[in-house]
Amino acid sequence: MTNPIRIFANRAARGASARTPTTAKPRGAVILWLTGWSMPETVFAELQSHLPEFVHAPVRLSCAETPEQMRALAETAAAAWFTGTDGALPSLASSRRSGKLLIAGWSLGGLLALRLAARGFADGLVLFGATARFVRSKEQANLGWPDAVLRQMGAAIAKDRLAVEARFRQRLLSDEEKKTGFCPQLPPAGSWSITALLAGIRLLRTENHVPALPEIACPTLLVHGKEDEVCPYGAAEELYERLPQAEILPVEGGGHIPFLGREAAIAEAIRRWSHGTQAACDSSPV
């Protein structure tokens, strides 16, 4: 496969990350991980292994019963870093005073990450295959899916949830990725409860952060497959145009899991980006 990665820098600070040495380490940075619909948190495990200098805190969405509970799980985890009431995430409290909180969200998790950032919980965002609004009209087919598709998925889950997940997984990979043999790298289906699957669909149908994008001031790295069939690449371009401090990393030939099979390269891109944003903060006048 050809080199899948090229990066366009933030419009306000173009080239900053390229000037920052990759040997420096973030000071106690935590990454809060929010996964996509039907996927276990382990989908990030290989990527996390290439970022050993960060504290990794995955949020478990697989047992949530409502969209409100999914939002609450994400917000509780983020708030723990700021308040020290860490509960089930003890790794956060020890790092909260020495570093920054990055929130990494993939797909559905990207919607939750944007919500947290809009509420002031994030020092930075890393969004994989993300969108500010999943449900779109026919005129915006380059940005998302029609609501009818999600309604049909919700109805079919009660009859055969594994068949629904299998069909969804077929849409996660680009043709190039399927030919390359990425399918065996996907986590097995069945890790989410049926109530969580339905809650996730309701969240995808209702969440809309497009109006809030200009107010999300934290640095954001957008990692998006150019051949994404779930969240089309147009959704990443919309985020890039409307977020004040966005960088975009297009993954050539990549589908809806743009880090899959490219973990080392994506990790290095995240590292360079994080160092660049930290350097910009360090050099800003008080």
CA–CA distance, 247 with 266 (Å, rounded to integer)? 14
Of 58, 200, 36, 209, nearest to 119 by C-alpha is 209
Q: How far apart are CA 238 and CA 223, in angstroms?
A: 13
The reported pLDDT for the residue numbered 20 is 32
The one-letter amino acid code at 208 reads: N
- Is the predicted pLDDT of residue 149 greater than 90, yes or no? yes
**Rounded Cα distance, 227 and 7, in Å:** 16
C-alpha distance across the termini of the chain, in Å: 46
Task: Tell me the per-residue pLDDT of 53-76, one tens digit each, with 9 for 90 and over.
Answer: 999 999 999 999 999 999 999 999
Residue carrying the six token digits 């990055």: 102
**pLDDT above 70 covers what percent of the chain?**
81
pLDDT confidence of residue 29: 86
- Greater confidence (182 vs 84) lies with 182
- In the DSSP assignment, the letter for residue 138 is G
Output the pLDDT for position 154. 97
Amino acid at 109: G
Is the pLDDT confidence value at 226 over 80? Answer: yes
Burial 178-215 (b: 16+ CB within 10 A, else e): eeeebeeeeeebebbeeebbbbbbbbbbebebeebbee
Average pLDDT for 208-223: 97
Per-residue pLDDT tens digits for 90-123: 444 444 444 789 999 999 999 999 999 999 999 9
User: What is the spatial distance between Cα 64 and Cα 44, in angstroms, rounded to a whole number?
Assistant: 19
Beta strands 220-225 and 246-251, pairing class: parallel
**Residue 89 pLDDT level (bands cut at 50, 70, 90):** very low
Give residue 219's region: left, alpha or beta (phi > 0; psi -120 to 50): beta
Per-residue pLDDT at 18 exceeds 60? no
Distance of CA 201 to the CA centre of its chain: 17
CA distance 22 to 273: 10
Alpha carbon dihedral 58, 64, 70, 73, in 10-degree steps, equals -50
Q: What DSSP line would sit under 214-264, residue for residue?
A: GG--S-EEEEEETT-SSS-HHHHHHHHHHSTTEEEEEETT--S-TTTT-HH
Contact 254, 265 (CB under 8 A): no
Supply 11's token pair: 């419009």
Backbone angles phi and psi of 185, in degrees to 5: -80, -10
Of 182, 161, 185, residue with least CA distance to 46: 185
Work out the pLDDT band at 23, boundaries 50, 70, 90.
very low
pLDDT band at residue 84 using 50, 70 and 90 as cut-offs: low
